[in-house]
Every structure is written in structure tokens, then in C-alpha cells.
Amino acid sequence: MSDLSPELAAAAHTVFGARLPLAERYVRHLATSGIERGLIGPREVPRLWDRHVLNCAVLAEFIPRDAHLADVGSGAGLPGLCVAIARPDLEVTLIEPLERRVIWLEEVIADLALTSVRVLRMRAEQAINEVDCEVVTARAVSALDKLLPLTVPLLHGSGQVLAIKGRSAQEEITKAAKVLRKLGGSQPEVLTAGSTVLTEPTTVVRIRVGRPDENA
């Protein structure tokens, strides 16, 4: 943590608490084997904490306690592993089709002893019979109109999709309106995560499925 600014160090302490050493270990994996195996670009190393790990971990503020979370297109564990480290109460399933990424994720999970995290090597549409969760997360997978058919079915009628997005969030929502009506989700909300701890908070699109009191 010595190479972080005081602001980032404080944010990391706030977000991860007693599990900060696990987050630091995860970042070391990203900065070493993650780069060697092509999961993270070498230019991202100076920005791993703010642009990636903290940016993803603050998603946890929208997730109910003891929920089962499925992370679609996990890649380097963003955001699934970040949230799992921050929230040990969650059961987390990482869904990733590429073998080399799955192997890396399994190695990191074992090293961090994250017993409540598992990896499924398959595409999201193949995981419907394997996963029944309350929350689905995704980051940099695809635009909402393509993402929603991959994520909403994993909720089996009740829960919420939390998609990390950028400035195009509202435009994506507009384009996904027809797909959303077909899938039966609520009108998407554009939320801000980490506004009290991050200089650049995370933009999140949330879509609820089922009764509001079931996935508040």
C-alpha cells in the first residue's frame, strides 16, 4: 500500500476493512501472473487499485447480505472477485468460458482461500441450469441490449442485475428498451457506487426482476 496515494489507501481500508491483505494479494496476482497470461494489460498496473479493484469492489454496497451472486464474463475477476473479497458473507459464482482465464481464477481463489467462491467454465447462456442467484454482475462484457439476455435468466424470476457502465449508460438503456420489455425487468436505474470513498465513483446500471421487496 506504500505506493498508493493517501486517498486511495484510505479508500482501500474503508472498502476492504480487515480483508485488505487479501485485496493486496489479489492485486499482486493481477500485476504479475495476470499480465503474464494476458488477463490485464501492462499499462494498467499503476491503475489497478483505482480503475479496477476499488472501482469494482464498491458495487458491494448495492448487494444484500448473504446473497448468491453470479458474475458473468469474469475474466480477471472484475468485478466478481473484488466483491467476494470485500463481502465474505456472499456466495459467488464466477462464469467464464475461456480456459486460461478459468485456470488463473481457480489458482487465485485457492491462494486467497476464498471458500465461498466457485468458477464455472461456460458461457452465461449455458449456466442457466447451473445457477440460480439473487444478483448478477458484469463489467465490460457487452452493451445492455446484448448483456440482459445473458444475465436476467440467471435470476430465475427474482433479483437484480448490476452492470458497471461508463458515460454511455443512458444511451445503452435507451437501445435496450425493447429487450428489457421482453425479459420483464424493471426500468433501469443509473446509480453511483463509492461516492463517499472514490474520487471517480462507479456508474452502475441496475435492473430489478420480480417484486421490489424480494431484491431490495
- Listed by start position, the domains of the chain span 6-214
Torsion, Cα 214 125 61 113, to 10 degrees, reads 120
Please report where in the chains the cell 480477471 appears, as a residue. Answer: 76
pLDDT tens readout for residues 25-56:
999 999 999 999 999 999 998 899 999 999 99
pLDDT tens readout for residues 106-163:
999 999 999 999 999 999 999 999 999 999 999 988 899 999 999 999 999 999 999 9
Beta bridge partners of 205: 163, 190
- Residue 216: what pLDDT? 47
**CATH number for the segment(s) 6-214:** 3.40.50.150
Claim: this prediction has a pTM higher than 0.85: yes
Whether the CB-CB separation of 52 and 112 falls below 8 Å is answered with no
Whether the CB-CB separation of 22 and 14 falls below 8 Å is answered with no
Confidence tier at 5 by pLDDT (50, 70, 90): confident
Whether the CB-CB separation of 40 and 30 falls below 8 Å is answered with yes
Residue 213 in this model has a pLDDT that exceeds 90:
no
